[in-house]
Amino acid sequence: MDAEVLKKYSALHPKPAGLTLQYGTAGFRTKAEQLDHVMFRMGLLAVLRSKAVVSTIGVMVTASHNPEEDNGVKLVDPLGEMLHPSWEEYATQLANAEEGELQQIITEICQKAAVNLHEDASVFIGRDTRPSSEKLSRSVIDGISILGGQYHDYGLVTTPQLHYMVCCRNTQGQYGKATLEGYYEKLSKAFTELIKQVNTGSGESQRHLKIDCANGIGALKLLEMKPYFPKEVLIHLYNDGTKEKLNHLCGADFVKVHQKPPRGLDLKPNERCCSFDGDADRIVYYYTDAAGDFHLLDGDKIATLISIFLKELLAKVGQTLKMAVVQTAYANGSSTRYLEETLKVPVHCVKTGVKHLHHKAQEFDVGVYFEANGHGTVLFSKAAENKIRQLAKEEKDDEKREAAKVLENTIDLINQTVGDAISDMLVIEAILVLKGLTVQQWDAVYTDLPNRLRKVQVADRRVIDTTDAERRAVTPSGLQEKIDALVKKHRLSRAFVRPSGTEDVVRIYAEADTQENADALAHEVSLAVYHLAGGKGAPPQP
């Protein structure tokens, strides 16, 4: 590694004075104009990571559901999973290093992680549609090039597509072809196979789907994918990025948080609609009923629908494959109760953050995980997948073989590397067709408990420490006892608090038997946090 070259190029991507950033679940995210040095350095880090694991690594330039002015970057590990936690630490060190320390920190990373600098390095790059993304991805390429890495720039892709490409490349094509055509072909073939045995006599309206693309990359990729879809799929794209700003008053995050339809989508009663987020790795469904009331089908409802479908198929196949659902504390209590008590599927609760859900889901033959915000997927163990593929080929019993074939196509339709709005949408659409369900019937499987999210500004978020997958507060003393006492005042109620991962706020979640009670509980817990955890500014108002 040439120190002079590093110094020269690093000076072209200077770090703003006094800026410190933390690599979190979503990688780095901040205002786009503050990220040039980070992109250059993540190009460097991707080469080191690639040399360390002797595999292709991905670098995705996106800030997902954040406003258009922001941007961000995250690295993708060899099997399409998120960057290993020990390397998150290296990413943070590298991003925050002063110019003169870069060389030393790179040397330290090489020592700690046993990086052989003589290994070849290969990096795949992708970016979203933000105005700043193209320039920032060129900074990544600068970083890759000065350490002698090879790269392939996929240009505009959804985040899950880049994860898919990386996995395809590192499995030598076993997972699929590492091209956009390969992705479209694999998904559309599996989807077509799934729905072809159904004679959809349920009328045209069944198959019309309105999609809010958050004015992001999802619209471009769905347009490219349209020719691959069977003629039964009638998708109508809204917020396609031609007129409005990315994520502005639209997208999955907006719909989930505000519990109302996005701007730019004309919603008629009982029409099935869904929203992607800005980089197309989250999806939520919704409709309005005849009375004009809005109904949201979030990640919990999606996980439940998929679980019902998979449980039936696994029972038909007659294998003792272990299935479980992984949720976070934000999952609606009704969904947990339905899964455990009615469907008899084990549910595990983990800390917030996709990497925690993904990790837990890997422990089962079939692991379904979704965050309430609509980010999720299904993981099949290698053994389960091999068994299912074998049964689809060799099983003599017709019913078992057919069920195994449906499972096999479902495996091929699901992007197991990461939550993928396009893939999840096709899985949901296929299940609704196969089970002959309307969106209203799906929604009626269980009724969400009314809930409320609040946040309280505090002087230092670190005063709050939690345990039991963030469901109980350990510090400050007295807070959990106070929450327990408040929860006892309402029926079917529960509440928890957790520090934000990015800012000095404490997030509060409360649910109860009525919206009025959920709101009251959220407010009472907010006041407890304000008084016991060093609240800033005026006390929370009801």
CA dist., res. 353 & res. 474, Å (int): 20
Cα–chain center distance at 488: 34
The answer to whether 64 is a known catalytic residue is: yes
Helices 85-96 and 36-53: crossing angle in degrees, nearest 10, is 140
507 is in an annotated binding site: yes
- Sheet containing strand 294-297, strands side by side: 234-238, 208-212, 273-276, 283-288, 294-297
CA dist., res. 147 & res. 140, Å (int): 11
281 is in an annotated binding site: yes
CA dist., res. 352 & res. 347, Å (int): 15
CA dist., res. 210 & res. 240, Å (int): 12
- Residues composing the chain: 542
Which amino acid, residue 471? R
499 is in an annotated binding site: yes
From the list 10, 50, 55, 64, the catalytic residue is 64
36 is in an annotated binding site: no
Token pair 């630490």 is at which residue?
89
224 is in an annotated binding site: no
502 is in an annotated binding site: yes
HEC readout, 85-116: HHHHHHHHHHHHCCHHHHHHHHHHHHHHCCCC
2 is in an annotated binding site: no
For residue 16, report the phi and psi dihedrals to the nearest 5 degrees: -60, 140
CA dist., res. 74 & res. 503, Å (int): 19
372 is in an annotated binding site: yes
277 is in an annotated binding site: yes
Number of H helices and E strands in the chain, helices first, is: 18, 19
CB 388 within 8 A of CB 409: no
Quote the tokens at residue 512: 């109860």
Could you list the active site residues?
64
Residues annotated as binding site for Mg(2+)? 64, 277, 279, 281
Question: Would you list which residues are annotated within the binding site for substrate?
Answer: 371-373, 498-502, 507
